């Protein structure tokens, strides 16, 4: 057996599996998005653009834009919080480095629903945080935190920040420290050195982290469902509704396609780097 | 002395990092602490009791869901580890055009929002006329797990040169024997670690299960979802704490496995693909 054929046998099962159960169904979503619902409430394939008209009408368009806005905010907050943490662990972690990393990963392995639910208990009007605020006399009445956009974004940050910190950590750890010294030798202020040397040197990690936080945030529906209300629903909630309560699969498929369109630029950007085997990707 | 910006001062960074760890751990501590509350409150600790754990174990549907979740995670772990490891070996060793395509295809599930993966699975099952059941959940879980295993195992493979396989072949081993007798043993720690990671991910997964669960055989996270929507209850805290113990044990094992095999490198490195 020649080498090609031999190694292809290793590739075949996994490739086929992903093709049949993942790639092919993506085409089904695309096809169904042009369909309609028959008299029995079942999705039927067809060819009409009506579902896409509906996506862009005044009820649903704000939800799409809101989702992208929340996801961008989540991404930026994760970057702002994650960079210093990753930097500290990579540069000053010393022999505690792996303990610190492991401690970051632990919360991520607590069920996402349970973690988000914990925030409900903390942020509710009668919750622990508000009780503390009232007890300390910071405010007479509970501050409304739940059902606000910031609660939803906070839930997303909490859920996905690990995807930011790990790639950042990887790129900061790999960075050649002597270039920072060189920047300082050239009389760059620490801030200048950071902006002109450190950030460009860790660009791959920044990009990977941003993509890995942004993508799941856009499609999330758990945070908005548990920490928000109808005013903070995201496209994930809308899509989820179409496949369950509202039972309008074709419309749900159209929403999914539009969401994927928003995401495709990021996905391609990431995939091109990842396919080349760059280390920061995971 | 150079005047330092924030990024040059470990003290600022240390405090900031400390606060982030507090932010990460407070909610989890809340879950654990209130799971032992003696009254039905998530605000006031009244006393310590195990009544919410008793509630959980006395509820036959919840108990059943726990076992379903574990079974799904175990089957997913075994199948995804075998298929994903083979894929990783093929990707690194093969120069064929198929390898390039597979390499790209394998990455797509990792960058696709889970809800899309859930809908994909739902549509293919309904298209093929397969009713939602225990097995549809398993099939959906395996799909995304294959990619995880492939990434972790491939990271290890990159550090193993082809020389030892060549040596084995020079000594008369067939290609398959050189993989089975030389490559797989060298990869074993990464394979086991990847498997345990997949176990934890599958055990905790909600979104994919949500889209592929039928009336019967609901895994634990799907039950939690409906419970949360009925309102808060310390039983959820108890379930959350128990699940935490299960998945963190799996991850801890995954981190320690490379050491059991006498490797000096940290399991964290194996899992995050960090280079030494």
Average pLDDT over residues A204-232: 92
Per residue in B207-248, pLDDT (tens digit) is 999 999 988 889 999 999 989 888 778 899 999 999 999 988
Sequence-distant (6+) residues with CB within 8 A of B214 are: B131, B132, B133, B136
Residue pair A18/B143 in contact by the 8 Å Cβ criterion? yes
Decide the pairing of beta strands A36-37 and A43-44: antiparallel
Place of tokens 């009544």: B51
Q: Report the alpha-carbon distance of residue B136 to residue B128 in Å, rounded.
A: 12
Q: Report the alpha-carbon distance of residue A151 to residue A147 in Å, rounded.
A: 7
Tell me the C-alpha to C-alpha distance, in Å, between residue B208 and each of A157, B74, B118, B139, B224.
Answer: 21, 16, 5, 10, 14
Please tell me the total count of domains within chain A: 1
User: Which stretches within chain B are classed as H helix?
Assistant: 10-35, 51-58, 60-93, 97-111, 114-127, 134-157, 163-170, 175-178, 184-204, 207-212, 220-229, 234-260, 267-272
The residues with which B37 forms a beta bridge, in sequence order, are B48
Q: Report the alpha-carbon distance of residue B136 to residue B212 in Å, rounded.
A: 6
* Paired tokens of B121: 């699975």
Q: Which of A1, A114, A166 sits opposite B224 (nearest CB)?
A: A114
Chain B stretch 211-270, residues whose beta carbon is closer than 8 A to a beta carbon of chain A: 211, 221, 224-225, 228, 232, 236-237, 239-240, 243-244, 247-248, 251, 255, 266, 268-269
Of the two residues A259 and B95, the one the predictor is more confident about is: A259
How many percent of chain A have pLDDT more than 70? Answer: 97
Q: Report the alpha-carbon distance of residue B115 to residue A10 in Å, rounded.
A: 29
Sequence-distant (6+) residues with CB within 8 A of B100 are: none
ipTM of the complex: 0.89
**CA-CA-CA-CA dihedral for B12, B14, B19, B23, to nearest 10:** 140
For chain B (276 residues), the mean pLDDT of every run of 10, in chain order, is 52 92 94 89 82 92 94 97 95 86 90 93 93 95 94 84 80 84 85 91 95 92 90 87 90 76 57 45
Summary count for chain A: helices (H), strands (E) = 15, 2
Question: Other CB atoms closer than 10 Å to residue A225's CB: what's the count?
Answer: 22
SS3 of A59, please?
A: coil
SS3 of A258, please?
A: helix
Asked if residue A252 is part of any domain, the answer here is yes
Per residue in A2-28, pLDDT (tens digit) is 777 888 899 999 999 999 999 999 999
First-to-last alpha carbon distance for chain B, in angstroms, is 33
pLDDT, position A278? 57
Q: Chain A residue closest to B99 (CA)?
A: A11
Average pLDDT over residues A155-170: 94
Tell me the C-alpha to C-alpha distance, in Å, between residue A273 and each of A200, A205, A267, A281.
Answer: 16, 11, 10, 8
Q: Report the alpha-carbon distance of residue B123 to residue B120 in Å, rounded.
A: 5
Q: Which of B111, B225, B266 sits opposite A215 (nearest CB)?
A: B111
CA angle B66, B68, B69 (to 5 degrees): 65
**For the domain that residue A244 is a member of, what is the CATH number?**
1.10.3720.10
Asked if residue A135 is part of any domain, the answer here is yes
Chain B stretch 6-35, residues whose beta carbon is closer than 8 A to a beta carbon of chain A: 6-8, 10, 13-14, 16-17, 20-21, 23-28, 30-31, 34
Average pLDDT over residues A218-245: 93
CA distance A219 to chain B (A): 5
Looking at beta carbons, which residues of chain A come within 8 Å of B209?
none
pLDDT band at A149 (very low <50, low <70, confident <90, very high): very high
Asked if residue A165 is part of any domain, the answer here is yes
pLDDT, position B42? 77
pLDDT, position B123? 93
Q: Report the alpha-carbon distance of residue A182 to residue A197 in Å, rounded.
A: 9
pLDDT band at A260 (very low <50, low <70, confident <90, very high): very high
pLDDT, position B268? 57
| Residue A34 sits at the chain B interface (C-beta within 8 Å) | no
Domain residues for the domain of A163 are 60-281
Asked if residue A109 is part of any domain, the answer here is yes
| Residue A89 sits at the chain B interface (C-beta within 8 Å) | yes
Which range (A189-193, A217-221, B266-270) has the least confidence? B266-270
Looking at beta carbons, which residues of chain A come within 8 Å of B102?
11, 14-15
Which of left, alpha, beta for B275 (phi over 0: left; psi -120 to 50: alpha)? beta
Q: Where are the beta strands (DSSP E) in chain A?
A: 36-37, 43-44
Q: Report the alpha-carbon distance of residue A184 to residue A190 in Å, rounded.
A: 7
Per residue in A81-124, pLDDT (tens digit) is 999 999 999 988 888 888 898 888 888 888 999 999 999 889 98
Identify which of B85, B105, B81, B83 has the alpha carbon closest to the alpha carbon of residue B93: B85
Asked if residue A46 is part of any domain, the answer here is no
pLDDT, position B8? 54
How many percent of chain B have pLDDT more than 90? Answer: 51
> Sign of dihedral through CA atoms A226, A230, A232, A236?
positive
Q: Report the alpha-carbon distance of residue A16 to residue A11 in Å, rounded.
A: 8
Which range (A244-253, A269-278, B100-109) has the least confidence? A269-278
CA distance A11 to chain B (A): 5
Identify which of A89, A85, A232, A215 has the alpha carbon closest to the alpha carbon of residue A151: A232
- The DSSP output letter for A142 is P
pLDDT, position B267? 56
Question: Other CB atoms closer than 10 Å to residue B132's CB: what's the count?
Answer: 19
Which range (A195-204, A228-237, B18-27, B36-45) has the least confidence? B36-45
| Yes or no: domain B71-272 corresponds to CATH 3.40.640.10 | no
* Paired tokens of B40: 């039905």
pLDDT, position A99? 87
């Amino acid at each position: 057996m020649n080498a090609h054929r031999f190694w292809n046998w290793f590739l075949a099962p996994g490739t086929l599996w992903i093709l049949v159960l993942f790639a092919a169904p993506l085409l089904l979503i695309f096809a169904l998005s042009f369909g309609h619902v028959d008299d029995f409430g079942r999705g039927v394939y067809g060819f009409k653009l009506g579902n896409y008209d509906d996506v862009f009408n005044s009820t649903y368009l704000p939800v799409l834009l809101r989702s992208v806005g929340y996801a961008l905010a989540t991404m930026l907050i994760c970057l702002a919080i994650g960079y210093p943490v990753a930097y500290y662990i990579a540069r000053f972690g010393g022999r505690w480095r792996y303990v610190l990393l492991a401690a970051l990963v632990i919360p991520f392995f607590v069920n996402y629903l349970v973690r988000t639910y914990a925030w409900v208990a903390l942020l509710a009007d009668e919750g622990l945080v508000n009780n503390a605020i009232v007890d300390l006399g910071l405010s007479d009445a509970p501050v409304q935190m739940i059902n606000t956009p910031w609660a939803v974004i906070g839930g997303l940050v909490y859920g996905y920040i690990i995807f930011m910190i790990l790639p950042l950590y990887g790129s900061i750890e790999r960075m050649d420290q002597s270039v920072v010294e060189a920047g300082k030798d050239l009389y760059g202020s620490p801030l200048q050195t950071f902006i002109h040397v450190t950030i460009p040197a860790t660009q791959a990690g920044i990009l990977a982290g941003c993509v890995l936080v942004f993508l799941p945030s856009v499609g999330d529906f758990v945070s908005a469902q548990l920490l928000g209300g109808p005013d903070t629903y995201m496209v994930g909630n809308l899509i989820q509704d179409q496949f369950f309560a509202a039972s309008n699969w074709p419309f749900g498929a159209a929403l999914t396609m539009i969401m994927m369109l928003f995401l495709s630029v990021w996905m391609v950007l990431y995939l091109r780097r990842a396919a080349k085997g760059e280390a920061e990707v995971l | 002395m150079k005047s330092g910006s924030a990024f040059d001062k470990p003290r600022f960074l240390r405090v900031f990092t400390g606060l982030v760890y507090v932010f990460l751990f407070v909610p989890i501590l809340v879950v654990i602490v209130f799971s032992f509350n003696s009254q039905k409150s998530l605000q006031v600790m009244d006393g310590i009791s195990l009544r919410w754990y008793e509630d959980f174990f006395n509820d036959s549907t919840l108990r059943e869901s726990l076992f379903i979740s574990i079974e799904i995670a175990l089957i997913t772990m075994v199948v995804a580890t075998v298929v994903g490891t083979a894929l990783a070996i093929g990707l690194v060793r093969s120069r064929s055009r198929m390898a390039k395509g597979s390499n790209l295809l394998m990455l797509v599930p990792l960058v696709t929002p889970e809800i899309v993966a859930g809908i994909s699975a739902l549509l293919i099952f309904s298209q093929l006329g397969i009713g939602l059941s225990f097995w549809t959940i398993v099939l959906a879980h395996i799909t995304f797990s294959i990619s995880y295993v492939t990434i972790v195992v491939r990271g290890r493979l990159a550090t193993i040169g082809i020389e030892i396989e060549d040596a084995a072949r020079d000594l008369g081993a067939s290609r398959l024997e050189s993989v089975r007798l030389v490559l797989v043993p060298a990869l074993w720690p990464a394979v086991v670690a990847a498997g345990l990671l997949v176990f934890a991910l599958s055990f905790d997964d909600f979104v994919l299960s949500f889209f592929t669960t039928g009336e019967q055989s609901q895994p634990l996270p799907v039950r939690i979802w409906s419970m949360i929507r009925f309102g808060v209850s310390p039983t959820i805290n108890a379930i959350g704490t128990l699940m935490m113990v299960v998945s963190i044990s799996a991850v801890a094992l995954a981190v320690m496995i490379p050491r059991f095999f006498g490797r000096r490198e940290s399991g964290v490195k194996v899992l995050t693909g960090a280079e030494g």
